[in-house]
Amino acid sequence: MNGYRGWDLARHILVPAALPAYLTGLRIGLGLAWMFVVAAELLGASKGLGYLMVDGQSTSRTELVMASISSFAALGKLTDSVLQVLEVRLQPWRAS
């Protein structure tokens, strides 16, 4: 380990070795978080995209339901793309 000790060992060896697993876990957790946000908003929200979706369903406004679904999908994809960019920048040694 090139004689590293303490902080140098963590910075040069341990963090780069653990970073891929942390970032993968973060992306998976973020996907699950979006699923739970959608479920929570569908069950009991009085504001937000989930409320608009339920309101559109109860008033037979398909465009409102589709716009809510599209907004959830766009927000999810945007956050995943931000994490992908972060992965590439933090891990230049990994192949894409």
- Domain assignment present for residue 47? The answer is yes
Mean of the pLDDT values across residues 4-30?
90
Report if residue 58 sits inside a domain: yes
Looking at the structure of the chain, the number of domains it has is 1
Residue 96 falls inside a structural domain = no
The parent domain of residue 16 ranges over 6-90
Alpha helices of 1-96 — where are they, by DSSP H? 6-9, 15-44, 49-58, 62-90
pTM of the predicted protein model: 0.75
Average pLDDT rounded to a whole number, residues 33-45: 87
Cβ-Cβ contacts under 8 Å for 21 (sequence gap 6 or more): none
| Confidence check: pLDDT of 96 > 80 | no
Digit-coded pLDDT (tens) for 45-89: 788 888 888 889 899 999 999 999 999 999 999 999 999 999 989
| 57 assigned to some structural domain | yes
